[in-house]
Structure 1
Amino acid sequence: MRVTLTQFSNERILRGWILLRIEAAHVCTQIWTSSTFNPYQELYIWLGQIRDCQLPAKMIIDEEGYGVELIAESLSNAVVELKIDPWMCSHDTTTRLKITIEPDKLIKAFYDGVIKFLQDEYQPSQWSYIDDLSNINWGALLKPSNIEGQNWQTRLAMYWGGRGRVSETGRETVWNQLTPLQQWLVILHDVMLWITDLTANSQITEAYALVSLYKNLPIDIALGEFDASWYSRRRIELNKKYGLRENSIERRTPYNHSASAKARLKTLKLGQLVDGTIHKINSHGVFVNIGGYYALIHITAISQQTVDHPEQVFQVGEWVRAIIISIDVEKGRVSLSTSDLELEPGDMLKDPLVVYEKAEEMAARYYQNVVLKLERE
């Protein structure tokens, strides 16, 4: 088995995309990882779950576009089955991967692919302002597993569940099991991500203030001179002085979800065709994650035929394509429609994937017949 990673950064392909190529015997598959999130932390958790027999382990790749799930399931204590969940991909010309392999050989193949990528192709200056890839301890995956994989359960929760797979209460449970010093090291991890986000948004003064406060925290811990109350008081003072939100550290600091959602909203337009995953379903409709922003498909906008309940069509975690039919910037609300993608009424109830295949064509019709008409008015 061989795993190859290739970075693309020319003008025709959005910078930050990587092609993940998996080869085994007579089977090959290629997966595009999306620039909308960093896949390596997720991959690290995923491989650790496989090593520690926490199966099935699923890794979602390219959440906002041509999504797939890379799944490892246990066939026995010594063998796992590696497969690609058959999501519809409009550009997909690859063979579906479904092979059996020993867990250590699977991990070794990914490890070798990552190391070769680092040596031959990885250029931090062309990737990101955070060197996430080479800062991950890939070599640790080759060491014997920890006690029943407990470290991976903890890591999964502390990383906010590998993009939403662990609830807020799940992280709180793990948090309460940590020592006070361990908790502060996790806070430091979150603060570093917060500082990165502030810097990316040109809030240099605020970022520097946080750096000045937390840069000595590891040294204080190492010397046994750590004073938690002092750090807590100074943090409150900084929050007041610079208008920083207290929960920016305590809750979901990675990439500042509020700022990301606001930035995402500015990129959306009426009539735009978007891809996403179903985040939540209730009797009134479904909420869709469209790359960091949650939009609503009301039950009346699912199909031109009557839908008794959204679960007739959708399940949580599924990929969906839809048209933006309403944007309220002030209230931060986005409404989507899949009914406007139907060639015939009821197509979404029969086979959503067939609807998605014609999505570009139907979106173009919607733009001509609805959006342009509104703009003229």
Structure 2
Amino acid sequence: MEISETPPAKAPRSLPGKIFDVLSGFGLATATLLILGLLTWFATLEQVNNGLYPTLNKYFATDWRNIFLLPELNGKTVWLPLPGGYWTCAVLLLNLILGGIIRIRKGWKHVGNLIAHFGIIFMLIGAGVTYHFSERGNMMVWPDEQSDAAEDYFEYVVEVAEIKDGKPENIHVIRGKDIVDLEGAKLRTFHLPEMPFDLELTGYLPNALPVSSAERAPDQQQYVADGYFLMAKPNLGKAEAAEQYIAGCYARIVEKNGPKSSPFILSGASYYPFSYRNGDRIFTVNMRKRLWPMPFTVRLNKFTAEFHPGTMRPKKFVSEVTRLENGVKANFTIQMNEPMRYEGLTFFQASYGPLDAMPGQTMYSVFEVVRNPADQWPKYSLIIVAIGMAVTFLIKLAFFLGAGPRKFRNV
């Protein structure tokens, strides 16, 4: 009598192994792709009412408040909590690395799958590079007018310039990253080449307004300069609201080897810059959102806005523009999902105004200008994915054709 041996019991999977199985599993990949599809669908519809940039910040921001969000549809909240797009992409990237590269079967039969997974991973990494390293601003242009500079959405800078013949020259820009930490009593002196003075900054507030001390007494012992003080406004706690912040700080003129001036207020809400005379020379100090010049000029020839019947909800808005560069003209049409790309810059149709414009009233166009080092990475990643799929197909075809003669010989 034969006695069969019972195979040894399989050792239970350890906790790290179980976690690895979940993170690298096909189920997690399917769930993240479905969530990304829903996020993209809701964001595409919502940007029509709320604008491109606020919608992107809501659905794809890194802020911890955006780990979960509630989408909107036709202006109404949809009670379907969804993970934020940034965090969903991060989970998908981890899943692809663990499951599509580490866990996947190896060998020349599976080389096509490996290539395709590398392509998708490259696409997600490109999205991360775009989010963290791209430069974004907006350009507002009225019909028959032109512009050659974009305004940053968030960064406030301090500009110091000398006025000659009514025009600013020798402009010195102090970037936002050098002043945002100057809160409270912390101060910093900035040395200005080619100018007879330096500039001392302190008391930076990311969102504040100058208020007259005669109308309202300082509530937190703020310093009063020329009868005004900076009153801090509340942090709205939303990434899309930061675009509306108005920065401010206190400043002093520091003469080279000389005395300091009385403190004065710099604010993004000021209509005119602070002016200072040194002998026969006149200088201005101003706080404003950073401007970055374009390598060409954009002229708006015509702006068309279509609205849903009986409402002010935009249905479609189109800008017909001319790009002017070194005497050469080129005409483009910019509309939603059809941007203008040129010299590493992309112009999107982002918004319009005035928002309360009456029928027949002239309206301006607002473009979102993006400089993105990974602008073409999605195209390259799609090429890699296509190559991987083609390799997989050819390998399967070769096996199919090779199996046919063998089956015929065995008959």
User: Normalised by the shorter chain, which TM-score bucket?
Assistant: under 0.3
| Greater relative contact order structure (CA < 8 Å, 6+ sep) | 2
Determine which structure has more spread, i.e. the larger CA radius of gyration. Answer: 2
Q: TM-score, normalised to structure 2's length?
A: 0.20
Higher helix share: 1
